[in-house]
Structure 1
Amino acid sequence: MKRCGEMIRIKPEGLEKYKEYHANPLPGVNEMIKECNIQNYSIYQRGDFMFSYYEYIGENYKEDMAKMASDPATQKWWDLVKPLMQPLEDKEKDKFWSVMQEIYHLD
């Protein structure tokens, strides 16, 4: 299993809409997340920052993320939520969210 943490900033004018969308995800979005071997997925908010945590249980992360990116329901979802977000300046070139490094874990 791979544990993943990521951060992004939410535009101040988009925060309430972002929360509203996540309270009622589009049909198929959660199912695709699970189908792509992601479990225990959470998003936390502090001010205008969002922190996501999830566990990847598959065998080919890159392939599963490509599958998710090609899904029409996921694309429609991203069309709704991405305009509300502002990627951090230090994100990796091919990423939207900034990947975090795990430095401690206790089971």
Structure 2
Amino acid sequence: MERMGMVIGIEPARIEEYKALHAAVWPQVLATLAAAKVRNYTIFLREPENLLFGYWEYHGSDFDADMRKVAADPETRRWWTFCAPCQVPLTSRADGEHWAMMQPVFHMD
């Protein structure tokens, strides 16, 4: 299992919209993530900086392949059309990233 963290900005005027979307995530989106071996997915909001911090645990052996499957799912792609306008990707993110992945530096069980 690999713990993964990621960060992205959020448009202040769209915070309530984003919260409402995530209060009722579409079942197919959740099923697609589960099939991609993503567990314990949590998104945190930090105001007033307007940052979203995402955390999940990946239980697979080929993260890139599993994420390609997520990205290929039509319902997930449709979901992203609602979420993406709320988000502000960091300028420092790596090529090909929407959410900027973070490096783990500490963990305590």
Same fold by TM-score greater than 0.5: yes
Q: Which amino acid is 2:104 matched to?
A: E
Q: Match for 1:56 among 34, 45, 58?
A: 58
Match of 1:77 among 74, 79, 86: 79
Q: Distance in 1 between matches of 2:28 and 2:71?
A: 13
Partner of 2:98: 96
Q: 23-32 vs 68-77, which deviates more?
A: 23-32
Q: Which residue of 1 aligns with 2:9?
A: 9
Identity %: 36
Q: Does 1:21 align with 2:21?
A: yes
- Rounded to whole Å, the distance in 1 between the matches of 2:26 and 2:107 is 33
**Superposition deviation, residue 27 in structure 1:** 3.0
CA distance in 1, matches of 2:102, 2:90: 12
Q: Which amino acid aligns with 2:26?
A: L
Contact 1:42 1:52 in 2 (8 A): yes
Q: Distance in 2 between matches of 1:83 and 1:27?
A: 21
Q: What stretches of structure 2 of length at least 5 have no aligned partner?
A: none
* Counterpart for residue 65 of structure 1: 67
DSSP 3-state at the match of 2:3:
strand
Deviations 1:44-85 (A, max 9, x none): 011111000000001110000000000011001001100110
Superposed CA offset, 1:73-107 (max 9, x none): 10010011001100011101110001111000111
Give the aligned length. 107
**TM-score (ref. length: structure 1):** 0.97
Q: CA deviation at 1:14?
A: 1.0
